[in-house]
C-alpha cells in the first residue's frame, strides 16, 4: 500500500504504467492513416484539382491531453486508490467487540453497524481472532467467547438487529468472571445508558485486557407505561441528560372504526429546563381513548419510544337492567333509554337478565328501578361487587315501594332509605323543583359544570345516619342527597336517588348526566394488576416489540409466569409486548411509572473512549473509471467535430433524433403530439354528435364496431334529424368519454378489465346521463344473461365494478319501442328477444295508459346479445359486411336492426320525451276546455 | 493469361445469344427503314423518295424532257395525259461501330452488374444483329471485322472479334482514324474519358468524312456519383495516371463539374457535326440504349 496524502493505493505497482503516457503521446501524434488506393477511370478528370480542405495531419494538443487524462484516470483507477484510508492499527491478539444492542441502540443502528464493520475490517486485515457479542442477547452459550475470523463476523453484521430491552451488562460481567477465558482486547459500543453493575462489568473487562469504549452522542428517549389520570392518558417521557432540545412529538396509535391503524391523537412535549423526565398528557375523547393501542415517539424509533396499552384502555363492559321491562312503554320513557344513550359510545352494553349479565363479568352494572332480587341473584351480585364491580342503581317507584334497605343496611344500596319518597314542585305539593348543589371536592363529580335547568321533582330519601354525609357525592340545593356511594368490598355501590328516565327529574336529559356516568365509570378503571392478580397464570405473548419499536409476531417464546411478569424487567425470554391469559391482556412495557434513565457514569482509568463518528474510507476506483469514460465520450465528440462529421445533413438528422429521444426520455413529459391529439379528439367529440365504441383490443371486433356505428350513423343521417359524424373509438384507460352521448361496448373475451380510474370515469359517465350498450354478441346462447357463455362471463367481470342500477328485461311498452319507429323487438344479427334495461320503479295507470313515472334519465345501460354492430356494419361502399338471416327475411331483420339503432339513439338523445307523449291527448283535452 | 480458341468460341456464342436476346424483342429494323432518306448504294431500304428501286412509288405527269421510255403506257392510256411510273429509291447502309476496348472500359463499380466493356460489346453486337437482319452492312472498327459486310458471317466475325482479348490495348480508348464508307453511319461506344487531345481529333476525323453517327458514353454509376471519401490515391485502370487527394469527398463537386464539362464538349461537337449523344449508365437497361440507337441510326439525315 502506497500512501500519498489522504489517498492510498492498494495496487501501487500499476502506477508504473503512467510512464508509458509519453510514449503514447508520441504515438498518438502520428500522421493520419495511409491512403486507400482505388482504380478509377475518371481520374483524368480529377487531374489538377486542389484539395479544398486537408485532413489534420496532427492531432491537436488539447485532444491529446484529453486522451492522456482519460488514460491516466484509468490507470489511477486500477491502482485502487482509497481516500481517507483507515491506517490506525490496533494491537494484536484476540479482540472482543461488544455491542449493547438494546433498544437505546436502535435510533442509530446503521451507524453502529457501520462502525462495527469498520472495526471488524481492521481486525480482519490484522488477522486477529475476533468475537462479536451483543450484550442484549444474553450471556454467550458455552464455555468461552465465540472467537472466529473477523471476516466471518463481517457477513453477519448486516443481519444484526437491536433488541427491545436493555442490555444486561452485569450478567455478562459475572459470566466473564466465572468463565475461563484468556486475555483479550475489548471494543465496547455502548448506547450511553447507565445500568446496574456497570462498574463490575468494566472491571471484569479490564481484567482481561485493554478496553476501548465507543460512545454515542445520541440521546435516546423512552416512554413509561401509560395510565389514566383525571380523564386523560398520561405517560412520562424519560431522557438521560438535561440538555435543551426541541419538543418531542408523542402520538397515540390505534385502529379506526375500520380497523386501520391511525394516529388517534398527537401532542408535542417540551422538556422544561434540564429535567430528565416530563409528563405527556393526551386528552382524547373517550371513543378514541378506548381504541388507543400504543403511544409512540415517532421521531425516536426504538422499543423504548413505544408503550403498549392493555385492558386498561379497552372499552368497559356495562350491564344494564331495568325493572318492569315488560311494560309497554314507548322508548323515550324506557328507564334504560338515557343510560344506554349515554354509555353506548364509550362502553359495551350488555342488556340481559341479571344472571347472564353477571356471568359476562362486566365492569359496571347499572340497575334502573329494581327493587327486589331473587336470593341467588342477590348473592351473585354481592359477590361481584365484593370482587371489584361497580354497581350503579337508579331509584324509581318500584324501589321506593319495595322497602329494600329501609329497615337495615342493604349491601347493594349505599344508604338506608326512608319509606316513601318525596315530591316537590308538583301540583299537589309545596315548593319548587329542586336544583343541584355544587359538587363537593371529595366527590368524583367535582369540577363538573352545573347546568341551570336541571331540577328534581321526586326522589327517594336517604335515612339520616352518621355515615350519610361521607357517602353523599351529589346533593340537592337543600342538602338532600341525590347521589350516594359506598365502597363494598373491592367494589362500589352508587345510588341515584332519581329515576333513570325523565319521570322524576330532567337530570337524564342533560349533558351532566353523561358526564356523571363517565366520571363514575372512569373512577372504576381497572387497577394496575399487581403480582397477586397476575400470579398463578401463564401469560402467553401475543405480540412483542422489536428493537425498533415495531410489533411483531412472537416466535420461539414460551409463556411467562404471572409473578415474573409483574416483577421482572423485560429480557430475552420476556420481551416487551402484549401478553394474554384467558380473557385478560397485559401490556409489558420497558419502563414503568417512576422509572428513570441516566447516562453512563464515569469510566474507570485506562479505558480509551472514542466517538462514534468515523470518516468513512472512500474507494475512488469507480469514480475515476467513470471520469475516464466521460472523458473518452468527450473525446469521441471532439474527434467527430474535428473530422467535420458533427455537421452534414445525415448526421444532423440522426443527432436531432437522438437528442429529441434523449430529451423526451429525460423529461418524460407527455409529448406535445399526444396533447394535440387529445385536443383534436376533444374538439371533434364536442363539436359534432359522435357515436363512440369501446376499443376492446380485438382488432376484428373493433373494426366491426366502427363499421357498425358508421352504418348506423349513415342511416340516422338519412332518416332522422340526428346527423352523427364518423364514430370514434374510445380507449377507456386514456380517453375522456364524457363527450359522447352513447357508448357501444361489444364484449370480447380478449379485452382487459379496465383499471379503477377507468371505472371511476365510467361510473361518472353513467351517472351524468351517458348510455352504454353492452353487446355480448352470442345470441344469449347460455340462457340467462351473463351465465352460460364466455362473453357473458366476461360481461359479468367487466360490469362488476360498474355502478349499474337494478335491471329488468325490457318490457313491451318500454320507451325504446316507440322513440322513432314502433318496434316489437330489437334484433341485431341475432333475433334474441331479450334485452335488459334499468328496472322501472313503478308503473301507474294514467287514464288507461301505462305511464312510467321516470326521471328524465335514459336507462344508463342496455345489455343484450344480438350483435347489433354486426347487423349495422357497412363497408365503404355501403354494402353490408356480415350476413343477417336468409333472403328477404334477413333483409327485413337487418332493417329492423337499423330501426332499433335509430330508436336507441333517439332514446339517448331525447330522453323520456316519447314516454311523455302519452300525456299529449290529456293536455290537449285540457287546453281545449 | 491466354484464352484457348474453344473458350473464345464459347464466349462468342454466349455473347451472340445475349445480343440476339435483347435484339429479338425489337421489330426488325426494316420497319423503320422507310424513314431513311439517303443512301449511296442500292439496298432493300425504301427511302420514301422516287429513285432507283424495285417498288412502285408514284405516278407523275410526264414533263418535257422526260425520256419516252419512262412513260407508263398502261396508266397513260386511261387518260389524256402522259404518266411516268416512278419507283422508290432504295439503299443499303454502312454502319461502322467502334466499341472501345481500352483498359478503362474494364472498370466496374461495386454495385454495377457488369463492366462498361461488357455493356459496349453487348450494345455493339445487338445493334449489328438488328442491322444485319435489316440487310445493312456493318463494320467493327479497329478489328479484323473492319470491312463492311452483311450477313450471318459478318456477325460471327464481329462476335469473335469482340470476344478477343487485346493484349496491348491502351489505357484510354481513342477512336481509330479509319476509312469510313462515304455517307455511312458510325456508332462510337466508349466512356470518352481519355485525354481531350486524343479523343476529339479522332471524332472530328469521322465527321470530316461526311459520316453521321452517335456517341454513346457508357459510364459506371460511381463515375457519376463519385461516392469516395477519405485519403485516396486514384489510379487509372491501366495505372498510367495517378492522383492523390486528402479528402476525396471534397472533390466530388469539382469532379462532377468536370464530367459535365466533358459531356458538354461532346454535345457541342455532336451538334456541330450532326451527330447525336447518349449517356448510358451500366446500371440502366441495355434495351433503352439499343432502342435509342435504333431510332438514332434510322432517323439520322
Buried b (16+ CB within 10 A) or exposed e, A41-60: bbbbbbeeeeeeeebeeebe
User: Among A316, A308, A266, A260, which Cα is nearest to A290's?
Assistant: A316
How close A649 comes to chain B (CA, Å)?
14
Q: What is the pLDDT of residue B32?
A: 32
Domain hosting residue A110, numbered range: 95-219+599-616
User: Of residues B82 and B46, which shows the higher confidence score?
Assistant: B82
Pairwise CB contact (< 8 Å): B220 & A41: yes
Contacts of range A619-622, beta carbons closer than 8 Å, 24 or more positions apart: A619/A80, A619/A81, A619/A82, A619/A83, A620/A7, A620/A76, A620/A77, A620/A81, A620/A82, A620/A83, A621/A77, A621/A78, A621/A80, A621/A81, A622/A77
Residues B164 and B282 in one domain: yes
Residues A465 and A385 in one domain: yes
Q: Which DSSP symbol is given to A143?
A: S
How far is A655 from A661, CA to CA, in rounded Å?
Answer: 10
Write the residue in B107, B232, B254 that is nearest to A41 by C-beta: B107
Residues B107 and B176 in one domain: yes
Q: What is the pLDDT of residue B108?
A: 87
Tell me whether B197 touches chain A (CB under 8 Å). Answer: no
Q: Which of B49, B65, B91 is the last residue of a domain?
A: B91
Q: Is residue A203 part of a domain?
A: yes
Q: What is the mean pLDDT of residues B81-97?
A: 78
Residues B55 and B117 in one domain: no
How close A632 comes to chain B (CA, Å)?
24
Domain hosting residue B85, numbered range: 41-91
Tell me whether B120 touches chain A (CB under 8 Å). Answer: no
Residues B54 and B147 in one domain: no
CATH number of the domain that residue A374 is part of: 3.40.50.880
Residues A754 and A870 in one domain: yes
Q: Is residue A83 part of a domain?
A: no
Q: Is residue A16 part of a domain?
A: no
Residues A502 and A360 in one domain: yes
CA angle A9, A12, A13 (to 5 degrees): 165
CATH number of the domain that residue A786 is part of: 3.40.50.12140
How far is A51 from A39, CA to CA, in rounded Å?
Answer: 19
Residues B81 and B20 in one domain: no
Residues A886 and A809 in one domain: yes
Helices (H) and strands (E) in chain A, counts: 26, 44
Q: Is residue A573 part of a domain?
A: yes
Pairwise CB contact (< 8 Å): A41 & B191: yes
Residues A274 and A410 in one domain: no
User: Among A615, A611, A605, which Cα is nearest to A213's?
Assistant: A611
User: What torsion do the CA atoms of A694, A698, A700, A702 make, to the nearest 10 degrees?
Assistant: 10
Residues B161 and B203 in one domain: yes
Q: Taking the mean position of all CA atoms in its chain, how far away is CA B39?
A: 17
Residues B27 and B49 in one domain: no
Stated pTM of the model: 0.39
Q: What is the pLDDT of residue A415?
A: 86
Residues A751 and A892 in one domain: yes
3-state helix vs strand vs coil in chain B, percent to 5: 40, 20, 35
pLDDT in tens, A172-217: 888 888 877 778 888 888 888 888 888 888 888 888 888 888 887 7
| Whether the predicted pLDDT of B37 surpasses 50 | no
> If you search the block for the grid coordinates 468460341, which residue do you land on?
B9
Q: What is the pLDDT of residue A131?
A: 87
Residues B255 and B127 in one domain: yes
Distances (CA, A) of A478 to A431, A482, A498, A840, B64: 11, 10, 15, 68, 176
Complex confidence, ipTM: 0.72
> If you search the block for the grid coordinates 471494543, which residue do you land on?
A187
Distances (CA, A) of A496 to A306, A318, A319, A415: 41, 17, 16, 11
Radius of gyration of chain B (CA): 23
How far is A99 from A156, CA to CA, in rounded Å?
Answer: 13
Interface residues of A toward B, Cβ cutoff 8 Å, are: 32-47, 49, 51-55
Q: What is the pLDDT of residue B198?
A: 82
Tell me whether B265 touches chain A (CB under 8 Å). Answer: no
Domain count for chain A: 4
Residues A161 and A279 in one domain: no
User: Among A218, A175, A164, A190, which Cα is nearest to A601's?
Assistant: A190
Q: Is residue A631 part of a domain?
A: no
Domain count for chain B: 2
User: Of residues B194 and A633, which shows the higher confidence score?
Assistant: A633
Q: Which residue, among A34, A42, A58, would best test binding to B if mutated, counting the most B CBs under 10 Å from its CB?
A: A42
Q: Where are the beta strands (DSSP E) in A114-169?
A: 129-134, 148-149
Q: Is residue A851 part of a domain?
A: yes
Which residue ranges of chain A lie beneath pLDDT 50? Answer: 523-527, 663-672, 851-855
Residues A272 and A343 in one domain: no
Tell me whether B247 touches chain A (CB under 8 Å). Answer: yes
Residues A579 and A606 in one domain: no
Chain A / chain B CB contacts < 8 angstroms: 96
Q: Which three cell numbers stand for residue A87?
A: 491506517
Residues A699 and A720 in one domain: yes
Residues A279 and A374 in one domain: no
Residues B86 and B97 in one domain: no
Residues B157 and B65 in one domain: no
The residue of chain B with its CA nearest to that of A34 is B231
Write the residue in B232, B237, B254 that is nearest to A41 by C-beta: B237
Residues B87 and B149 in one domain: no
Tell me whether B169 touches chain A (CB under 8 Å). Answer: no
Give kind and range of the element (H or E) at residue A905. Answer: helix A887-910
Residues A352 and A379 in one domain: yes
**Are the C-beta atoms of residues A860 and A838 closer than 8 Å to each other?**
yes
Residues B9 and B52 in one domain: no
Amino acid at each position: 500500500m502506497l500512501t500519498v496524502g489522504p489517498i492510498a493505493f492498494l495496487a501501487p505497482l500499476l502506477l508504473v504504467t503512467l510512464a508509458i503516457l509519453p510514449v503514447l503521446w508520441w504515438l498518438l501524434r502520428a500522421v493520419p492513416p495511409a491512403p486507400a488506393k482505388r482504380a478509377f477511370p475518371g481520374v483524368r478528370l480529377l487531374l489538377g484539382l486542389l484539395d479544398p480542405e486537408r485532413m489534420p495531419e496532427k492531432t491537436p494538443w488539447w485532444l491529446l491531453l484529453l486522451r492522456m487524462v482519460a488514460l491516466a484516470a484509468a490507470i489511477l483507477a486500477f491502482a485502487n486508490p482509497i481516500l481517507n484510508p483507515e491506517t490506525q492499527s490496533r494491537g494484536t491478539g484476540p479482540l472482543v467487540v461488544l455491542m449493547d444492542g438494546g433498544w437505546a441502540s436502535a435510533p442509530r443502528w446503521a451507524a453502529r453497524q457501520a462502525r462495527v464493520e469498520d472495526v471488524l475490517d481492521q481486525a480482519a486485515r490484522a488477522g486477529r481472532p475476533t468475537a462479536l457479542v451483543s450484550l442484549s442477547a444474553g450471556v454467550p452459550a458455552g464455555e468461552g467467547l465465540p472467537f472466529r475470523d473477523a471476516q466471518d463476523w463481517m457477513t453477519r453484521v448486516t443481519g444484526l438487529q437491536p433488541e427491545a430491552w436493555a442490555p444486561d451488562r452485569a450478567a455478562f460481567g459475572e459470566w466473564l468472571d466465572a468463565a475461563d477465558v484468556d486475555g483479550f482486547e475489548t471494543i465496547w459500543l455502548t448506547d450511553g445508558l447507565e445500568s446496574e453493575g456497570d462498574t463490575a462489568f468494566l472491571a471484569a473487562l479490564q481484567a482481561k485486557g485493554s478496553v476501548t469504549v465507543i460512545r454515542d452522542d445520541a440521546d435516546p428517549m423512552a416512554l413509561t407505561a401509560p395510565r389514566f389520570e383525571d380523564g386523560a392518558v398520561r405517560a412520562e417521557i424519560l431522557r438521560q441528560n438535561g440538555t435543551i432540545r426541541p419538543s418531542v412529538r408523542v402520538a397515540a396509535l390505534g385502529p379506526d372504526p375500520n380497523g386501520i391503524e391511525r394516529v388517534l391523537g398527537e401532542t408535542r412535549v417540551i422538556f422544561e429546563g434540564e429535567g430528565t423526565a416530563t409528563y405527556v398528557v393526551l386528552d382524547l375523547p373517550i371513543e378514541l381513548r378506548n381504541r388507543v393501542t400504543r403511544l409512540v415517539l415517532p421521531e425516536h424509533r426504538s422499543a423504548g419510544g413505544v408503550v403498549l396499552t392493555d385492558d386498561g384502555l379497552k372499552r368497559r363492559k356495562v350491564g344494564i337492567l331495568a325493572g318492569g321491562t315488560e311494560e309497554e312503554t314507548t322508548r323515550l320513557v324506557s328507564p334504560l333509554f338515557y343510560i344506554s344513550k349515554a354509555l353506548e359510545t364509550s362502553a359495551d352494553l350488555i342488556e340481559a337478565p341479571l344472571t347472564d349479565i353477571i356471568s359476562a363479568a362486566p365492569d359496571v352494572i347499572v340497575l334502573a328501578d329494581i327493587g327486589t332480587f331473587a336470593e341467588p341473584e342477590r348473592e351473585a351480585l354481592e359477590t361481584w361487587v365484593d370482587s371489584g364491580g361497580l354497581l350503579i342503581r337508579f331509584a324509581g317507584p318500584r324501589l321506593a315501594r319495595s322497602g329494600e334497605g329501609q329497615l337495615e343496611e342493604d349491601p347493594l344500596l349505599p344508604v338506608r332509605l326512608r319509606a316513601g319518597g318525596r315530591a316537590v314542585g308538583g301540583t299537589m305539593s309545596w315548593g319548587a323543583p329542586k336544583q343541584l348543589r355544587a359538587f363537593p371536592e371529595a366527590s368524583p363529580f367535582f369540577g363538573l359544570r352545573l347546568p341551570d335547568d336541571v331540577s328534581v321533582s321526586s326522589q327517594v330519601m336517604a335515612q339520616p345516619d352518621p355515615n350519610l354525609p361521607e357517602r353523599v357525592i351529589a346533593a340537592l340545593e337543600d342538602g338532600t342527597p341525590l347521589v350516594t356511594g359506598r365502597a363494598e368490598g373491592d367494589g362500589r355501590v352508587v345510588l341515584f336517588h332519581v329515576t333513570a328516565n325523565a319521570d322524576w327529574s330532567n337530570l337524564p336529559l342533560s349533558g351532566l348526566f353523561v358526564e356523571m356516568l363517565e366520571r363514575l365509570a372512569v373512577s372504576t378503571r381497572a387497577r394496575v394488576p399487581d403480582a397477586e392478580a397476575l400470579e398463578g397464570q401463564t401469560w402467553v405473548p401475543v405480540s412483542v416489540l422489536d428493537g425498533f419499536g415495531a410489533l411483531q409476531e412472537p416466535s420461539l417464546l414460551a409463556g411467562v409466569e404471572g409473578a415474573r411478569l409483574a416483577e421482572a424487567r423485560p429480557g430475552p425470554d420476556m420481551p416487551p409486548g402484549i401478553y394474554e391469559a384467558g380473557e385478560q391482556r397485559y401490556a409489558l412495557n420497558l419502563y414503568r411509572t417512576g422509572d428513570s434513565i441516566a447516562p453512563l457514569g464515569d469510566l474507570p482509568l485506562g479505558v480509551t473512549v472514542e466517538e462514534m463518528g468515523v470518516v468513512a474510507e472512500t474507494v475512488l476506483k469507480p469514480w475515476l473509471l467513470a471520469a475516464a469514460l466521460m472523458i473518452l465520450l468527450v473525446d469521441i465528440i471532439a474527434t467527430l467535430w474535428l473530422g467535420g462529421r458533427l455537421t452534414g445533413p445525415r448526421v444532423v438528422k440522426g443527432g436531432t433524433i437522438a437528442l429529441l429521444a434523449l430529451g423526451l426520455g429525460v423529461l418524460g413529459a407527455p409529448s406535445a403530439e399526444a396533447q394535440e391529439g387529445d385536443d383534436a379528439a376533444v374538439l371533434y367529440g364536442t363539436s359534432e354528435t359522435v357515436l363512440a365504441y369501446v376499443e376492446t383490443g380485438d382488432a376484428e371486433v373493433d373494426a366491426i364496431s366502427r363499421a357498425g356505428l358508421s352504418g348506423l350513423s349513415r342511416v340516422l343521417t338519412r332518416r332522422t334529424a340526428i346527423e352523427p359524424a364518423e364514430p370514434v373509438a374510445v380507449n377507456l384507460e386514456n380517453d375522456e368519454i364524457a363527450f359522447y352521448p352513447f357508448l357501444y361496448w361489444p364484449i370480447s373475451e380478449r379485452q382487459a378489465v379496465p383499471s379503477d380510474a377507468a371505472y371511476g370515469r365510467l361510473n361518472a359517465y353513467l351517472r351524468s346521463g351517458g348510455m352504454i350498450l353492452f353487446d355480448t354478441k352470442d345470441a344469449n346462447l347460455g340462457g340467462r344473461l351473463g351465465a352460460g357463455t364466455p362473453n357473458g362471463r366476461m360481461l359479468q367481470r367487466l360490469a362488476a365494478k360498474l355502478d349499474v342500477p337494478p335491471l329488468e328485461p325490457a318490457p313491451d311498452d318500454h320507451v325504446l319501442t316507440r322513440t322513432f319507429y314502433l318496434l316489437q323487438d330489437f334484433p341485431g344479427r341475432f333475433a334474441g328477444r331479450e334485452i335488459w334495461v334499468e328496472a322501472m320503479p313503478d308503473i301507474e295507470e294514467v287514464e288507461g295508459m301505462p305511464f312510467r313515472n321516470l326521471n328524465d334519465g335514459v336507462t344508463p345501460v342496455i345489455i343484450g346479445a344480438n350483435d347489433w354492430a354486426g347487423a349495422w356494419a357497412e363497408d365503404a361502399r355501403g354494402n353490408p359486411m356480415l350476413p343477417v338471416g336468409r333472403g328477404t327475411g334477413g333483409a327485413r331483420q337487418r332493417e329492423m336492426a337499423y330501426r332499433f339503432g335509430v330508436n336507441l339513439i333517439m332514446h339517448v338523445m331525447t330522453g323520456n320525451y316519447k314516454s311523455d307523449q302519452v300525456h299529449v291527448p290529456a293536455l290537449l283535452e285540457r287546453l281545449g276546455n | 493469361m491466354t484464352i484457348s480458341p474453344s473458350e473464345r468460341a464459347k464466349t462468342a456464342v454466349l455473347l451472340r445469344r445475349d445480343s440476339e436476346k435483347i435484339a429479338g424483342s425489337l421489330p426488325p429494323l426494316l420497319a423503320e427503314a422507310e424513314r431513311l432518306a439517303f443512301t449511296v448504294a442500292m439496298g432493300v431500304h425504301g427511302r420514301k423518295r422516287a429513285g432507283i428501286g424495285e417498288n412502285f412509288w408514284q405516278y407523275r405527269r410526264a414533263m418535257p424532257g422526260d425520256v419516252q421510255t419512262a412513260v407508263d403506257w398502261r396508266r397513260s392510256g386511261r387518260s389524256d395525259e402522259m404518266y411516268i411510273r416512278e419507283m422508290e429509291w432504295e439503299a443499303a447502309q454502312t454502319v461502322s461501330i467502334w466499341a472501345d476496348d481500352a483498359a478503362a472500359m474494364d472498370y466496374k463499380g461495386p454495385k454495377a452488374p457488369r463492366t462498361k466493356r461488357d455493356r459496349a460489346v453487348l450494345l455493339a453486337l445487338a445493334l449489328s444483329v438488328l442491322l444485319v437482319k435489316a440487310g445493312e452492312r456493318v463494320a467493327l472498327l479497329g478489328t479484323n471485322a473492319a470491312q463492311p459486310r452483311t450477313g450471318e458471317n459478318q456477325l460471327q466475325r464481329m462476335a469473335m472479334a469482340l470476344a478477343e482479348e487485346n493484349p496491348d490495348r491502351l489505357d484510354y480508348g481513342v477512336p481509330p482514324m479509319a476509312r469510313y464508307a462515304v455517307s455511312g453511319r458510325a456508332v462510337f461506344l466508349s466512356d470518352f474519358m481519355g485525354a481531350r487531345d486524343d479523343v476529339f481529333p479522332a471524332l472530328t476525323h469521322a465527321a470530316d468524312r461526311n459520316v453521321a453517327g452517335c456517341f454513346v458514353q457508357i459510364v459506371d454509376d460511381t463515375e457519376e456519383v463519385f461516392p469516395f471519401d477519405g485519403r485516396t490515391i486514384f489510379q487509372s485502370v491501366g495505372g498510367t495516371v495517378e492522383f492523390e487527394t486528402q479528402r476525396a469527398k471534397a472533390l466530388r463537386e469539382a469532379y462532377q463539374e468536370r464530367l459535365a464539362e466533358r459531356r458538354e464538349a461532346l454535345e457541342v461537337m455532336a451538334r456541330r457535326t450532326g451527330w447525336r449523344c447518349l449517356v448510358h449508365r451500366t446500371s440502366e437497361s441495355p434495351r433503352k440504349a439499343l432502342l435509342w440507337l435504333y431510332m438514332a441510326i434510322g432517323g439520322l439525315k
